[in-house]
Structure 1
Amino acid sequence: MKSYRYLLQAISYLYGGSTRLRNYLYDHKWLSSAPFPLPVICIGNLSSGGTGKTPHTEYLIRLFKDTYKVATLSRGYGRKTKGFILADEYSTAKNIGDEPLQYFKKFGHQISVAVDEDRVHGIKELCIRNNIEIVLLDDAFQHRRIQAGLNILLTGFYHLYSEDTLLPMGRLREDKSQAKRAHIIIITKCPDTLDESLQKEIINKLKPEKKQEVFFSFIQYAKYLRDYYENEVPLSTLQKKQVLLITGIEQSEPLVKFLKKKCSQLIHLSYPDHYKFRTKDYSEINLIFKDLAGEKCFLTTEKDYMRIRDINSWAKCIFYIPIFTRINRKNTFDQKIIDYVRSTTRVGKIL
């Protein structure tokens, strides 16, 4: 056991050295970051996942979609394709990824949703094709080839980056000192009981720089479910049902805790983040579902549903629950983002 731990420590040391070197080269201009003459907002984290990037990106979409031409750009984690793809009615999780598909299904053509592993190229394509005014970079804190004008760093309430270590010993993708690149830090998935004294305690743990402002955000589940046809179904429907919950997300505990109060019985099947469900999985899940007596239903998360909906035999008999983000000092947060956008006007063409 000790030798295994030493091996992980050695790998973490080597991994940390490589990321520190890379950041040093960017910090000292040996590697270049491409600036763009329009607002580019990065929403990311230091850890390997589970901080709530998707609902926070959606928060910013709602903030700007009615007044600006907004685009989301990500690499499209888990997709089977390469290069630049602009989401449309024929997009699936397989060709653009589950999170970009979620953005498109939720907001449609109110915004542009694109994926490209080369995000410098992706921004150029978005500006040429759709004359975009704001770009939201989803999960791009480590993508330093782009010089984002505003970096928003997320860290989970129960998994603060200040208390974590580098992969594979911990969950950090780069050294915690790189939090200094953030303009805004948001502690996500906070409990509703969070008070000012605990907020101060957490801020002291993070030790933010003077230029950095810290906010706290909370998960807010919808008071309804959605079905395959995007109909709203009252959450109270679950009260007399046995629910088989299927999740493939990093942290499902808050959702499980919430749903236990809403249904008569909850059975939870948990899979790894971004899990690609196989035919074998569906067969096993069906057997468990058949054993449930009385009124019952399938339920999943919004992100998982984007992958499950590709399986026609399943999509029409499963519900998902939408999720939203609530941020403390909302007016202050919104104004800070709005001020950045207004001060960063697009100048000239993007080549």
Structure 2
Amino acid sequence: MIKFIRWLLFPFSILYAAVVLLRNWAYDNQLYNSTSFHFPVIVIGNLSVGGTGKSPMTEYVLRLIKPRLNVAVLSRGYGRKTKGFRYVDVHDSAKLVGDEPLQIKRKFPDVMVTVCEDRVHGIQRIQDQIDAVLLDDAYQHRKLRPSFSILLLDYESLQHPVIPLPTGNFRELLLGCKRADVIVITKCPKKISAQMRFSIESRLRKYTLAPIFYTKIAYKRLQTTDGLLLHEAQLQDTCAVVVTGIAKPQPLLSHLEPQLKKIIHLSFADHHHFSRGDLHKITQTLQQIDDPQKVIITTEKDMQRLPSSFIAQHPVYFIPIEQAFLFDQASTFENIVIRACASK
């Protein structure tokens, strides 16, 4: 039914695409002004709505730049209940700063992490304190002119026609690839045929000559917030309530299902803030599992939105993820990013 309704809105998708094309044309031809800065400004973004792996890519690039430059992370702070510019503290809540910035701050406590809807204003607030800034999800923020742009396209989305909102999930058409300095195809299967690579790259080469890289999700071991690990040998005897509030949970479920004895999946909307009712539902679902070996499993991003009191009272584990480059492309990608930071 939902798909049918979305297709009824297809005329609005055409209108939406036309407005976006006109807006981009205006910026490209300098009818609208874009602000640039004298230090490296690296943007990570996508053409679709969520689910392309911006957070693990942001962390990957941050690990790469951090030893070389005093770099800050600036995010919109999607899903937060506050407005304006804020510094992110490890003791903040996701409601104050957003789950993704909070996750990054807790993993990199010595890095300045800030949130601001207006990216230009956000950079201006911190420009005297840093050597470089890394922005997640700012590819469509044309008021800012980045020095380097990393565009993420998830593998699955490229297997289908690119259809703009509201019928499809794309913010802009593939023409937007032309602004990218590198393109990363994310969430790839372990094996990609030469024919499929040729098909993907032929499609993108109509719009860009940027280098194209391929990555997959690398799942790490389940752990608690205290760093306690759930050993792999225990998984086959473990039942789990898998709680997700992310755009595309299926890859995670596909990873966990073969390893666990039983899975009950509770799915919530992306960036969902868990209410008392939600927490009660999770608790009840866990209690209804008639097995002594049972846990709650969630994503690292969702972990930022679960109350610490709930985590303390339940066996909650999260599964960290990283970007893993395919075809031995990691060093090439890293060298390109390092050169981009050094050349500014």
| Aligned equivalent of 2:272 | 275
Give me the whole-angstrom Cα distance separating, in 2, the residues matched to 1:4 and 1:257: 29
Range with bigger deviation, 256-265 or 224-233:
224-233
Secondary structure of the corresponding residue to residue 222 of structure 2: strand
Q: How far apart are 1:161 and its partner, in Å?
A: 8.6
Cα distance in 1 between the residues matched to 2:319 and 2:196: 30
1:347 aligns with none
Which segment drifts farther, 112-121 or 188-197? 188-197
2:200 corresponds to? 202
Aligned pair partner of 1:257 in 254, 259, 269: 254
For residue 169 of structure 1, give the secondary structure of its aligned residue in structure 2: coil
Deviates more, 1:181-190 or 1:226-235: 226-235
CA contact (8 A) 1:68 1:134 kept: yes
2:298 counterpart residue number: 300
Q: How does 1:1-351 map to 2 (within 5 A)?
A: 7-109=8-110, 111-128=111-128, 131-160=129-158, 163-207=161-205, 209=207, 211-222=209-220, 224-294=221-291, 295-308=293-306, 310-317=307-314, 318-328=316-326, 329-344=329-344
CA distance in 1, matches of 2:156, 2:246: 16
Using the TM superposition, give the Cα deviation of residue 5 of structure 1 relative to its aligned residue in structure 2, in angstroms: 6.2
One-letter code aligned to 1:82: K
Matched-pair contact (CA < 8 Å) for 1:88–1:104? yes
| Distance in 1 of aligned mates of 2:330 and 2:318 | 27
The letter of the residue matching 2:98 is: G
Question: Could you give the per-residue CA deviations for residues 283-334 of structure 1, whole angstroms, max 9, x where no partner exists?
Answer: 22222111101210001000111101x3512355211011011113111111
Pairwise CA RMSD: 2.0
Deviation of 1:3 after TM superposition, in Å, equals 9.5
Structure 2 gap segments, 5+ residues each: none
- Check whether the contact 2:241–2:263 (CA below 8 A) recurs between aligned residues: yes
TM-score by length of 1: 0.91
Q: Call closer, same or farther: CA 1:297–1:20 in 2, change over 3 Å.
A: same
2-side partners of 1:123 and 1:5: how far apart? 37
Distance 1:127 1:53 in 2: 23
- Matched residues in 1 for 2:301 and 2:247: separation? 11
> Percent of pairs identical after alignment?
40
Q: Distance in 1 between matches of 2:4 and 2:256?
A: 42
- Structure 1: gaps (5+ residues): 345-351
Aligned residues: 339
Matches of 2:159 and 2:191 in 1, distance apart? 21
Shift of 1:4: 5.1
Distance 1:5 1:298, change over 3 A: closer
Cα offset, 1:133, TM superposition: 1.4
Letter in 2 for 1:117: E
How far is the alpha carbon of 1:257 from its aligned partner? 1.2
Distance 2:211 2:58 in 1: 18
Distance 1:54 1:40 in 2: 17
Cα deviations by residue, 1:272-293 (Å, 9 ceiling, x for unpaired): 2112221111222222111101
Distance 1:169 1:230, change over 3 A: same
Aligned to 1:240, what secondary structure does the other structure show?
coil
Displacement after TM superposition at 1:229 (Å) = 2.1
Query: Aligned partners of 2:207 and 2:7: how far apart in 1?
Result: 33
Per-residue deviation at 1:198? 2.2
Q: CA deviation at 1:28?
A: 1.2
C-alpha distance in 2 between matches for 1:343 and 1:112: 23
Tell whether the 8 Å contact from 1:228 to 1:316 is kept in structure 2 after alignment.
no
- How far does residue 204 in structure 1 lie from its aligned partner after superposition? 1.6
TM normalised by structure 2 equals 0.93
SS at match of 2:151: strand
Task: Describe the SS at the equivalent of 2:196.
Answer: helix
Name 1:349's counterpart in structure 2.
none
Q: Take 2:219 and 2:5, find their aligned partners in 1: how far apart are those partners?
A: 41
Alpha-carbon offset, residue 90 of structure 1: 2.4
Q: Deviations over 1:43-77 (max 9, x none)?
A: 00010111100001111011121221111111100
Whole-Å Cα distance in 1 between the matches of residues 55 and 100 of structure 2?
A: 7
